[in-house]
Amino acid sequence: MLVLSRKLEESVMIGDNVEIKVVGVHGDTVKLGITAPRTIPVHRKEVYEEIEKENILASKMGVRIEKVDILEHIFRDGERAEEAKRKAKDEGKE
Amino acid sequence: MKVVASRFGELEVREEEIFTAVRTLPGFPNSSRYFFIERRNIAPFRWMQSADEPDLTFVVVEPDKFFHDYEPRVGAFDLEEIGLGRGEQPFVLVIVVLPEDLTKMTANLKGPLMFNLKERKFKQAFIETEKYTVRESIIEGIRRKEKARLEGEEGTGAKSTKSG
């Protein structure tokens, strides 16, 4: 890994059209300004990793076909319970 | 074309039913072709099956079925990659996680799938905001949606306040 030291307002060029500039340093946080063509996606690494992890989880979470049938009931029951709770609360107020 | 899907067996899928990921989904570099399997008994959910990996099946849903105020900001870059111009709206689906306890179902609102239906292209976008997480409770979403609907019906005359 190439390691470079940069001061505030100094930058690093990657290729001809990607610039990464240090725009702020506060405690242990470094704020970076990134200028790149729109065709280059820029993301915080943890966002990518988080989504990757969730995708893998989603793919493993057995899509239990027979269970999916009951989703409808769960929603209906959930809504009904919520409705009942709300009504009880409203009546309590009056 | 014939596609083998572990969950569904051998399926006949027409070329025009296939959606191509312009960038593969994080975690699944070997699948770029997907198609949908819709069944009335699982609506509004649908399966998104990889045509490249028989074992790979996601459950997806249109987010507005459960999240009434979900408005991911789509970058010009994302639109461009799937072949849409500025101002054109992608068709959005989110991936659902179905745990053993189905009341704990969640949807990934941070990584929505953005589709260009016409060209049958899509990608998973990353929404760089703290507002949405990869694990939003669907039941909570339904409650909030229902609450908003009831508030709307009550017509208190008050201007709708911004819901977070």
Non-local (6+) Cβ contacts of A23 within 8 A are: A8, A9, A31, A32, A33
Contacts of B135 in chain A (CB under 8 A): 54
**Global confidence as pTM:** 0.79
Could you report the per-residue pLDDT of B50-87, keeping only the tens digit for each? 999 999 999 999 999 999 999 998 888 899 999 998 88
Alpha-carbon span A46 to A33, nearest angstrom: 18
Could you report the per-residue pLDDT of B120-144, keeping only the tens digit for each? 999 999 998 889 999 999 989 988 8
Would you state the pLDDT for residue B41? 75
Q: Say whether pLDDT at B26 is over 90.
A: yes
**Nearest CB partner across the interface for B7, out of A39, A54, A63:** A63
Note which residues in 41-60 of chain B have CB less than 8 A from chain A: 41-42, 45, 47, 56-59
User: DSSP states of B71-91 as a string?
Assistant: -PPPPHHHHHHTT--TTPPPE
pLDDT band at B164 (very low <50, low <70, confident <90, very high): very low
Would you state the pLDDT for residue B154? 74
Q: Say whether pLDDT at B149 is over 70.
A: yes
The complex scores an ipTM of: 0.88
**What average pLDDT does the structure give for chain B?**
89
B97 touches chain A (CB under 8 A): yes
Could you report the per-residue pLDDT of A39-75, keeping only the tens digit for each? 787 888 899 999 999 999 999 876 555 565 556 665 6
pLDDT greater at residue B41 or residue B94: B94
Alpha-carbon span A85 to B47, nearest angstrom: 33
Kindly give the pairing relationship between strand B121-124 and strand B19-21.
Answer: parallel
pLDDT band at B156 (very low <50, low <70, confident <90, very high): low
